Structure 1
Amino acid sequence: MTDFFYGLLHFKRGSWEMLASVLIALGVVMLMQPFVLWLFSYSFVITLIGTVMFIIVSHFPE
């Protein structure tokens, strides 16, 4: 867990890619759930943020 936070603080690719992937997955889950309307409403924004974040982070150093 400390390696994850170290990677976030020092802009290492692995930790940020993991965070972006979690955001993408969270957005997809929010999109598919039928119960809470506000989760559905924000699902596209969360997925978009995760996708753009993944594209940017893929240029970070290993």
Structure 2
Amino acid sequence: MSLDANSSIAHRGLADHMLRRGPLEAVATTIIAAGVVMLMQPFSLTLYSWSFATTLFGTVMFTIVSKVRE
């Protein structure tokens, strides 16, 4: 049984491509920005009520994603 040099390289699927730091940090930053916009808008009390939870979720997500592989 011979080993080919290219056989050890795994083909990266869509999930492997999406579970990288760059795209996930962008999503987390967008969630944080949405939470801040929800906090500052004067139109909907429901959006204002959920703004802290949204910002907190984005912040926790960003903290966790910063530990994901490059």
Task: Please indicate, yes or no, whether the TM-score normalized by the shorter chain is above 0.5.
Answer: yes
Greater Rg, structure 1 or structure 2? 2
Aligned length: 55
**CA RMSD, 1 decimal:** 0.7
Q: Deviations over 1:6-60 (max 9, x none)?
A: 4xx2210000000000000000000000110100000000000000000000011
Q: Take 1:50 and 1:30, find their aligned partners in 2: how far apart are those partners?
A: 13
Partner of 1:20: 28
Greater helix share, structure number:
1
Structure 2: which 5+ runs fail to align? Answer: 1-13
Aligned to 2:43: 35
TM-score normalised by length of structure 1 = 0.85
